[in-house]
Amino acid sequence: MEIGKEKKFVEFLKKYGIYVAVGVVVFAVALTFTLLATLNGSVKTGGGNLSFILPMENASVIKDYSDTELQENETLNQWEAHMAVDLTSTNSDVFAVLDGTVASVEYDYLNGYTITINHSDGFVSIYSSLAEQVSVAAGDKVSAGQKIGSASESASGELDLGSHLHFTLLLNEDHVDPNDYLNLQAK
């Protein structure tokens, strides 16, 4: 390195070196936390142990969660990520997976009748393709295992699946795989 360039580099480090060092440390810490979360396959919630129950008794998974591989939606004739689990059972009753508060009961054409429940530790459960006659209203407190509705064919975006529950789980507003919290694959 030439002496003039070396002097400029030293002056740069004197003036901005602390910012460069802080940036490198912040990057290293963020990378470490990201790698640890990926390797563990779990997310810390800040609370105690939560005990999830199944949203349907004797349920069978008819379409699994997938955020990385596209799945065909035969009803809409398109390939898409499936950020939920579709369940069916001989008993159509649908139950809250955790204690919580009903945030909303809504209807839209693609998802059908939908109940959204806020739970502790940043969890939100969403139950779609329900029959019109739901057992709860916005603001109601629910207990884990409490019946909240019945599975149906109200989700026109998944008519090819027949009567089913489209179950979505969020953690801190991000979609998470319900299989990581519920024992669905044994069903």
pLDDT per position as a tens digit, 143-181? 999 999 999 998 888 878 889 999 999 999 999 999 898
Bridge partners for 152 per DSSP: 164
- The residue extents of the domains of the chain are 1-41, 60-180
- pLDDT for residue 97 is more than 80: yes
pLDDT of residue 186: 53
C-alpha–C-alpha distance, residues 53 and 147, integer Å = 12
Instruction: Quote the CA–CA distance of 168 and 185 in Å, as a whole number.
Output: 16
Q: Rounded to 5 degrees, what are φ and ψ at 15?
A: -80, -45
Question: What does the pLDDT read at residue 15?
Answer: 76
- Which position has the higher pLDDT, 9 or 47? 9
Q: Which residue has the higher pLDDT, 128 or 48?
A: 128
DSSP at 7 = H
Helix ranges, the chain (H): 3-40
Would the pTM count as exceeding 0.95?
no
Reference 132, options 150, 144, 145, 157; nearest CA is 150
- For the chain, give the percent of residues with pLDDT over 90: 47
Work out the average pLDDT over 75-82.
Answer: 77
Residues 94-115: what's their mean pLDDT?
96
Residue 157 near residue 76 (C-beta atoms within 8 A) = yes
Residue 3: pLDDT band by 50, 70, 90 thresholds? low
For residue 2, the model assigns a pLDDT of 61
Contact at 8 Å (CB) between 166 and 155? yes
pLDDT reported for residue 168: 96
- pLDDT beyond 90 at 91: yes
What per-residue confidence (pLDDT) applies to 22? 67
- Say yes or no to pLDDT of 182 above 90: no
**Per-residue pLDDT tens over the stretch 43-62:** 444 445 678 999 999 989 98
Name the architecture of domain 60-180: Distorted Sandwich (2.70)
**29-43, 91-105, 115-129: least confident range:** 29-43
